[in-house]
Amino acid sequence: MNIKDFLKELSNSTSVSGYESNITNNIVNVFSKYSDKIDYDQLGSIIAIKKGVNNFSNLKIMLAAHVDEIGLMVKDFDDSGTIRFTSIGGIDPRTLVAQEVIVHGKKELFGVIGTTPPHLQDKDKSDDAFKMNDLYIDVGYDKDEVKKIISIGDIITIKRNFTELQGGSVTGKALDDKAGIVTMLQCAKELMKLNHEADIYFVSTIQEEVGTRGAITSTYKINPDIGIAIDVGFGRTPELDKSQSLEIKGGPGITIGGNIHPNLRQKLVDTAEEYNIPYQFEVESGPTGTDARSIQISRAGIPSLLISLPLRYMHTSVETIHMEDIKKSGNLIARFISEITSDNLEGYLCY
């Protein structure tokens, strides 16, 4: 499958943290073409395994991109039938005002997020941001009717269709981190053309947005020699400082810092140089806010890397990314993987 089509399919489907099983099949269908075996951890992370060649020392490289997306959840009803909600994962309530949503009850209900109209608000409060408690969802039914279809605990998603912008830029919801999964696919495709000794574990991790939980359980299960997290990084916009953002079309962001194995990171940089793949750096002093955080300290410690895809407007429903960055990131990881052998790995891991 074309990587852009796959991104569209994933972005348009629903996989709020804890409720990812909805798109398990989409992922299995695509990855089974490029892998030898599909497995799962006990919480539902999806593990596609591609065997290496002459892998006598059972070398294992794990790639992790998270399959879950941020979302909303029904927490209560008003007498008027409107729905009150909370967020799953970090959502800025200001981005929710006047959005269209789908409430996933016994059936899917269309709704809109409303607020008190401006002429009924205190004038001196018009500069104040709306809080989650100020917002409600109107699905057009009264309370009795709503409760027949919707229960407390049901998932809500923003209604947003994936679309293409100019010159290879695309926009949609939940590109964080479905773009990471697509990057794994690009890597898997590329690996079909290359030799690799290690068995590759393409892991679509669950519940990253609520605490990298799928990375904890899947890494424990796999116990890899190297773990590579693929997540999104802050794409540069005018208000962001250069030192805290990544240039769009600048290629994969390679993270430097304590969470990252220094020699393997250097190998990644060398690989990028060798194959003329543009790259950029991202600096994080402590544990990163990605799956790499949990991968590194699983069991007796796992050397870990982090690749960040430049993405604008993170955690909104208009996340924007460039296909070129996805492609280059996937290619870089594939090249890196094909150069790791049981013979040279020991050298790289030596402190």
Count Cα atoms within 13 angstroms, Cβ side, for 331.
16
Contact flags string 69-108 toward other proteins, x per CB under 8 A = ----xxxxx------x-x-x--------------------
DSSP bridge partners of 235:
246
Place of tokens 């059972």: 58
Does position 243 interact with other proteins (CB under 8 A)? The reply is yes
Ranges within 249-288 binding other proteins (CB under 8 A): 256-259, 261-262, 281, 283, 285-287
Going by C-beta distance under 8 Å and a sequence separation of 6 or more, which residues neighbour residue 281? 253, 254, 255, 256
Residue with smaller CB distance to other proteins, 279 or 336 = 279
Name the residue nearer to other proteins (CB basis): 150 or 326.
150
Nearer to other proteins, 140 or 258 (CB): 258
Q: How many residues bind other proteins (CB under 8 A)?
A: 55
Distance CA 74, CA 82 (A): 10
267 phi, psi to nearest 5 deg: -60, -40
Pick from 71, 210, 78: which is nearest to 133 by CA?
78
The CB-of-240 to other proteins minimum distance in angstroms stands at: 12
Question: Distances from the Cα of 168 to the Cαs of 163, 327, 329, in angstroms?
Answer: 11, 11, 15
Side-chain-facing half-sphere of 295: CA atoms under 13 Å: 32
- Shortest distance, CB of residue 170 to other proteins, whole angstroms? 29
The rounded Cα 172 to chain-centroid distance in angstroms is: 13
Minimal distance, residue 124 CB to other proteins, in Å: 23
Residue 36: CB minimum distance to other proteins, A: 20
Please list every residue from 136 through 195 that binds other proteins, using CB under 8 A.
Answer: 151-153
CB 179 within 8 A of CB 41: no
Cβ at position 135, least distance to other proteins in Å = 12
Stretch that binds other proteins, among 53-61, 179-187, 333-341, 343-351 (CB under 8 A): 343-351
Of 217, 308, 329, 338, the one binding other proteins (CB under 8 A) is 217
Distance (Å, rounded) from C-alpha 240 to C-alpha 123?
A: 31
Q: CB of residue 263 vs other proteins: minimum separation in angstroms? A: 11
Would residue 208 show up in a list of annotated catalytic residues for this protein? yes
Instruction: Give SS3 for 295.
Output: helix
CA 309 to chain CA centroid, nearest Å: 10
Distance separating alpha carbons of residues 324 and 179, to the nearest angstrom: 11
- 189 or 221, CB closer to other proteins? 221
- Give catalytic residues, as residue numbers: 208
Chain contacts with other proteins (rule: CB under 8 A): 17-19, 21, 41-43, 45, 73-77, 84, 86, 88, 133, 151-153, 207, 210, 213-214, 216-218, 220-221, 241-244, 256-259, 261-262, 281, 283, 285-287, 296-303, 349-351
